[in-house]
Amino acid sequence: MTVPAGERGTTTVAPRAVRRIAERAAAEALPDGGSVLRGSAGVRGTSARISVGVRLPYPVRADEAARRIRERAAARTAALTGLSVPRAEVRVDALSAGPAPVVPEGVEVDPSPDGGRSGPRIRAERRVPAAVLAAVGAVVCGLVLADVVAVRFGGAPAGWRTAVLDWAATHGPADSAVRIGGAVAALAGAWLLGCALLPGLRRRLRMAAPGPEVRAALDRKAAARILRERALGVPGVVRARVTVRRRRAGVRAGVGYGDPAEVRAEAVRVLDAALLELGLARPPALRVRVRREAGMPPPVPEESVVAVERPDAAGRAAAPTGPDVVGRPGTAVDGTPGARGARGGLQDGGEA
């Protein structure tokens, strides 16, 4: 017996179930040390749209890891739910930085296989402006439509519509209220055009993409945290403050011990390698400043070391020799304290 198509019933997969399946599928493709933070899903008819936010370990190629996660999540969601997944999004929301690796001298790190070609820019969705504009437009259009339908069926026009028409008929462009309203409308239009044309997301840095269909970006705060961890791993650095902008990365390091010049040179080398490891399409220019921490003693120079004098068999101190000997005021050459005469003369081992 064949049941008619209209009586067979329907199967509905809830968005919550789709989201859980997508999160589990994304977790299967994560590298060691990664985790799924949150996800979202929407179902419309026989298609589903999924989005998953993940935390990746550092260092790792974020673009390749995101591609594997996206493909796995889309394939497993489609296979387990029976829905088509035309679009799947993977957001790298955080990086877990591990211990600073030892960077050998003279090692160059290629940021990407194709030499750092810029991937397409990720555009901001701007959901809040779109929702506000859609709500305002829907309310205005609904009021006008309801008033027009009421007039067509023999009703009187709404009072607000006649008041607006009367006010517009009695006020011209020279009125201050009209000018202020026009300026506000012009600013709102310019703002909407900017939202539509500008890509936004200026707090993210574009990463090099291995393919034309891959778009990757790194948050500037995450890049700053990674550079700070690398800076604190430099011997002698006890404090670090990092600011990352689109064109420049500034590092202010506090030196607790060691020569500040040597500490700065080592910090520049380590941070240059860390910038290349981020895989950015255009690594920002690095600027490193070091400053000795307050309360830390200055380094002792080599020429200020005084040789230790040991007495000989006769009970006199042997005259120290060598490059480490530095004459001190009030000290004779033979190692005994020199005596100042009544006239302020200094005896250097001879007779007064």
3-state secondary structure of 40: strand
Per-residue pLDDT tens for 255-300?
888 888 888 899 899 988 888 888 887 888 888 888 887 766 665 5
Per residue in 78-93, pLDDT (tens digit) is 999 888 888 888 888 8
pTM over cut 0.85? no
The yes-or-no verdict on residue 103 having pLDDT over 70 is: no
Q: Which one-letter amino acid corresponds to residue 285? A: A
Distance of alpha carbon 338 from alpha carbon 328, whole angstroms:
10
The yes-or-no verdict on residue 217 having pLDDT over 50 is yes
Secondary structure (DSSP) of 262-329: HHHHHHHHHHHHHHHHTTBSSPPEEEEEEEEPTTPPPPPPGGGPPPPP-B-TTSPBPPP-STT----T
pLDDT digits (tens, 9 = 90+) for 298-350: 655 544 444 444 455 555 544 444 444 444 444 333 444 444 444 444 344 44
Digit-coded pLDDT (tens) for 187-209: 988 888 887 777 776 777 877 76
pLDDT in the model for residue 141 = 92
pLDDT exceeds cutoff 50 at 120 = yes
Provide, rounded to the nearest whole percent, the portion of the chain with pLDDT above 70. 71
Spatial strand order in the sheet of 237-244? 237-244, 248-255, 285-292
Q: Is the pLDDT of residue 44 over 80?
A: yes
